[in-house]
Amino acid sequence: MKVLIAYYSAYGHIHKMAEAVAMGVGEIDNAEAVLRRVPETLPRDVLEKMGALEAQKAMAHIPVCTVAELAEADAVIFGTPTRFGNMCGQMRQFLDATGQLWANGALVGKVGSVFTSSNTQHGGQESTLLSFHITLLHHGFVIVGLPYTFQGQMRIDEITGGSPYGASTIAGVSGERMPSRNELDAARFQGRHVAAIAARLAA
């Protein structure tokens, strides 16, 4: 059973979360986690001005995702940073190229899930996850979130991401904060949870 983790990460925060998601997927028997980056749309000089080149190099070993790979997977877990309360432009452009899959019903019945990041604690994480779900519903995905059985999302002793809609992390205004242990645990839990449900559906 293949679980595709398709994500965009500019500075490495979503990449770290994606690795944790993959670890969770791997905890389910016969589940294979496949990490893929969605295509970059920004030119190199813009990425350099953004200070994102170093992080991009660190992720260069992850292959770029193709639209066809979505149809080959049993489940797809998408990762996107928040851009004004919505998915990033790179992810939007990637999904906008899935019209043929929609026309063929190629993704109907697959498990879909989403995780995200934002600069600030209230920077639109939940709206990003929920608005992403709209696209998944149009494709016929069976949407899976992060249930409250992951009790780390109920912590009040520290600032942390995570909601019933999916795992998330807070990056800081300058991207200085990497995912906390609790946020990585949430991502890992979500990966395991999605893979377990996908395995039941496959059976």
Give yes or no for residue 78 having a pLDDT over 90: yes
193: annotated binding-site residue?
no
Give yes or no for residue 51 having a pLDDT over 90: no
84: annotated binding-site residue?
yes
pLDDT at 56: 86
Q: Is the pTM of this model over 0.85?
A: yes
CATH number of the domain within which 179 lies: 3.40.50.360
Q: How confident is the model at residue 53 (pLDDT cuts 50, 70, 90)?
A: confident
82: annotated binding-site residue?
yes
Residue 10, CA distances (Å) to 29, 93, 202 in order: 32, 15, 34
Work out the average pLDDT over 87-112.
98
Give yes or no for residue 90 having a pLDDT over 90: yes
pLDDT at 43: 87
pLDDT at 52: 87
**Tally of structural domains, the chain:** 1
159: annotated binding-site residue?
no
61: annotated binding-site residue?
no
pLDDT at 198: 97
pLDDT at 55: 86
| Residues constituting the chain | 203
8: annotated binding-site residue?
no
Work out the average pLDDT over 81-95.
97
Average pLDDT over the chain reads 96
Enclosing domain of residue 148: 2-202
Q: Would you call 1 exposed, middle or buried from its count of C-beta atoms within 10 A (0-12, 13-18, 19+)?
A: middle
d(CA 141, CA 75): 9
* Side-chain half-sphere exposure of 156, counting CA atoms within 13 A: 0
Dump pLDDT digits (tens) for 153-193: 999 999 999 999 999 999 999 889 999 999 999 999 999 99
